[in-house]
Structure 1
């Protein structure tokens, strides 16, 4: 069965600079997909090619089995939410939400009903007469989302829609976006450079670097089973450990680079194949629910994340024993 959204060998070149280098992936109907990577990796360019704002140098884009590569943006039945809201400042909230419906020729009474439905969906009933300048950033972005989904698009595209908001609003709004997406069952492509955002709300994630797809997988797979050194280091905190610090026989390849998430190390013995190594505490950072310990492990700086259990943490300079389970080690290309 063909994927609902198919990207095949997509290439985009600007002059001598190739920013997307043969990207291919496919997703099922109703999935929430994040394109995750640093600035300049090509994620927004892919989104803009799906939207029709950029023409691919080569490759194909298909939605529900139909090739849309050459269609104009208004022929693609897509909804898009931008980083900077892009609301019409001279129109009320109701007119902003109903703008696409009016262009499509929907009768006024049906349009009013759909706008009211959208305002309830985004938690802003009764706001239809307000203007954008009378609303907070988070409220404006909710309106932009409602405008995008009002015409019932078959695909929703979100281009870093939360990056202009403060941290607390970002967390609450991303959960609202995910809840709305799940309620509607709309296939969604979300562009972000924020790993926490991608991990918390995605069905699957495309990790990108320098125009290439580094890894495609579920949040669990991306975090726990990275397949490249870039994916491992870009998503989450990671300790890189030379194989030589471990006892002989612990690892098969002494020239490998081994990686370990900070929460996988402990100062207490662990069940399973336990490796105990002497270390020195170099710093202690209290982060609320988590206490981050920085240690020197045979000359290698290592982070250890422990839950705040209200016990007194060790002090700088303390000699400790770090416990590692061999199954938690990730072997990465050198």
Structure 2
């Protein structure tokens, strides 16, 4: 499988004096599900629109399966697009909406009808071909929009925040369906989202964007567990920041509010008594001791938040406050505010991040 089925090289987009995409490079294999993840204004949708042909790059190139499509018109690229707004034709029923691209392409009526039936089964809406968009829920309309995009058998599928207008439960259900359909078809897919949970749950790889450039590109577990920059670590998931003082650079020892700990990844050139910041995920902290945890800290419970299956406990270690996530245990109550508590972690889970 070629790793450069989709290849973006030096892609830049400038509007006047404002550069919104800054010399972006990436490549992906055929059949991958790729998410462009980042906050509003980071350039992710602009990249998608340049791939689709709705925006012209200021510089750089885009190739698909070896073909340079940088200057091609949208209808020459053989791509399927699903928008945030469903963009269904209100005067056409579901069958005609799904078959619209096939009709434009000159596909015979009987073949169109068979393909529409195939698409309706694929999205779980058989028998809905005579309904109109206003007769359907938002989730159903977005399924129809997806079916319309893939009916002409495009070589790539582009999804521009297609779930953002739906409520939380439907979003989870539909994103799982989109992923299942993508795997079934084996179609290369680029998915734009600002929701890190969406990106983590369905992507093969994620491009984390910030201010027009790529902060990190990797598999979901790499992005979450080994963030390359402070931006990635704070944008993807929750992060505890710990202010520490370096007490012995040679042995990589620091203190947090007077409590010593060893940090394996502490840079060797850090100065004695220097102030530094370490980071740690809430889920790697545990109440009490645990096998493999070589760091123990004592503090006071400052807050307890019940989140259903997870309980988030905030612990004051002096001037530092950390959040700890633990599974809800129906057999025992969580600690109370003001209670003295011991927490532990493995020093290898402490992150030292670049800015």
Determine if contact 2:12/2:24 at 8 Å carries over to the other structure.
yes
Q: How many residues align?
A: 334
Residue number among 276, 289, 292 corresponding to 1:269 in the alignment: 289
TM-score (norm 2): 0.92
Q: Following TM superposition, by how much is the alpha carbon of 1:333 offset from its aligned partner in structure 2, in angstroms? A: 2.0
Alignment-derived partner of residue 224 in structure 1 = 225
Determine if contact 1:19/1:211 at 8 Å carries over to the other structure.
yes
Alignment-derived partner of residue 343 in structure 2 = 322
Q: Following TM superposition, by how much is the alpha carbon of 1:46 offset from its aligned partner in structure 2, in angstroms? A: 0.1
Q: Which moved more, 1:22-31 or 1:242-251?
A: 242-251
Structure 1 CA distance for aligned equivalents of residues 200 and 318 of structure 2: 33
Alignment-derived partner of residue 175 in structure 1 = 176
Q: Which moved more, 1:193-202 or 1:270-279?
A: 270-279
Alignment-derived partner of residue 24 in structure 2 = 23
Listed as ranges, the gaps of 5+ residues in structure 1 are none
Determine if contact 1:2/1:65 at 8 Å carries over to the other structure.
no
Please show how residues 44-83 of structure 1 align to structure 2 within 5 Å.
Answer: 44-83=45-84
Alignment-derived partner of residue 328 in structure 2 = 308
**Runs of at least 4 residues off by over 3 Å:** 245-249, 252-256
Structure 2 CA distance for aligned equivalents of residues 272 and 126 of structure 1: 56
Residues 249, 241 of structure 1: alpha-carbon distance in 2 compared, 3 angstrom cutoff: closer
Determine if contact 1:271/1:325 at 8 Å carries over to the other structure.
no
Alignment-derived partner of residue 202 in structure 2 = 201
Residue 332 of structure 1: SS of its match in structure 2? coil
Residue 60 of structure 1: SS of its match in structure 2? strand
Structure 2 CA distance for aligned equivalents of residues 190 and 268 of structure 1: 41
Q: Could you list the per-position Cα deviations for residues 37-96 of structure 1 after superposition, in whole angstroms to 9, with x for gaps in the alignment?
A: 000000000000000000000000000011000000000000000000000000000000
Residue 291 of structure 1: SS of its match in structure 2? strand
Structure 1 CA distance for aligned equivalents of residues 3 and 200 of structure 2: 26
Alignment-derived partner of residue 145 in structure 1 = 146
Determine if contact 1:256/1:333 at 8 Å carries over to the other structure.
no
Structure 2 CA distance for aligned equivalents of residues 219 and 133 of structure 1: 37
Q: Following TM superposition, by how much is the alpha carbon of 1:272 offset from its aligned partner in structure 2, in angstroms? A: 2.1
Q: Following TM superposition, by how much is the alpha carbon of 1:323 offset from its aligned partner in structure 2, in angstroms? A: 0.8
Q: Which moved more, 1:317-326 or 1:215-224?
A: 317-326
Alignment-derived partner of residue 305 in structure 2 = 285
Q: Following TM superposition, by how much is the alpha carbon of 1:171 offset from its aligned partner in structure 2, in angstroms? A: 0.3
Determine if contact 2:38/2:193 at 8 Å carries over to the other structure.
yes
Q: RMSD in angstroms over aligned alpha carbons? A: 1.1
Residue number among 258, 262, 268 corresponding to 1:250 in the alignment: 262
Q: Which moved more, 1:193-202 or 1:272-281?
A: 272-281
Residue 57 of structure 2: SS of its match in structure 1? coil
Please show how residues 23-42 of structure 1 align to structure 2 within 5 Å.
Answer: 23-42=24-43
Q: Which moved more, 1:145-154 or 1:281-290?
A: 281-290
Alignment-derived partner of residue 333 in structure 1 = 354
Q: Following TM superposition, by how much is the alpha carbon of 1:255 offset from its aligned partner in structure 2, in angstroms? A: 4.3
Does structure 1 residue 185 correspond to structure 2 residue 206?
no
